[in-house]
Amino acid sequence: MELLSVKIKKPEEVNFILAQSHFIKTVEDVHETLVEAVPGIKFGLAFCESSGDRKIRFSGTDQEMIDLAVENAKAIGAGHSLLIFLKNAYPVNVLNRLKQVSEICRIFCASANSVEIILAKTEQGTGILGVIDGESPLGVENDDDKENRKSLLRKIGYKL
């Protein structure tokens, strides 16, 4: 077995979701779920089929995001992996809806951070072991940090 690390390539402001799914129908169901969740959403998704034709299946509403999804799916190459790139939406806007899609087995991460995917490669294929999402903490928040966090959430409309 070979262990690999693949860094997700994306612009800093783009959010990314990595999941594992199990059926070719995933592409259409996830597309429908995203457009229903956020009107006008800009996204691209790619799904790595792990049997049959073993194609990278894709869809989306924004060519740049579709291209990112396909490029990163090629680099990862793990069977049944699902990559979603969001341009004008946040994972928090769509995660609960995605969790309800019957084909989705697991969500590994949802982030705008720099992300590395840890893979295992065997004779059979490649599988996702986990992710490294962002960097390690530098300390524990103090009272000022707490107030800044609470203020930010209210400023961007996530808390009243």
| pLDDT tens digits for range 95-127 | 999 999 999 999 999 999 999 999 999 999 999
Among 11, 38, 152, residue whose Cα is nearest residue 92: 38
Q: List domains and CATH numbers for the chain.
A: 2-155 (3.40.1520.10)
Q: Compute how many other C-beta atoms are within 10 angstroms of the C-beta atom of residue 80.
A: 21
pLDDT value, residue 158? 82
Which tens digits make up the pLDDT trace of 3-62? 999 999 999 999 999 999 988 899 999 999 999 999 999 999 999 998 989 999 999 999
pLDDT value, residue 159? 83
In which band, very low, low, confident or very high, does the pLDDT at 160 lie, cut at 50, 70 and 90? confident
- Give the largest CA-CA distance in the chain: 56
- Determine the length of the chain: 160
Residue in the block written with tokens 């690999």? 4
Strand extents, DSSP E, 35-98: 43-48, 56-60, 81-86
Give the whole-angstrom CA distance, residue 112 versus residue 86: 9
Residue 133 vs residues 19, 147, 160: alpha-carbon distances, Å: 14, 25, 28
Contacts of 34 (CB under 8 A, 6+ apart): 41, 43, 45, 84, 89, 94, 97, 98
In which band, very low, low, confident or very high, does the pLDDT at 156 lie, cut at 50, 70 and 90? confident
pLDDT value, residue 49? 93
Give the whole-angstrom CA distance, residue 44 versus residue 86: 7
Q: Compute how many other C-beta atoms are within 10 angstroms of the C-beta atom of residue 82.
A: 29
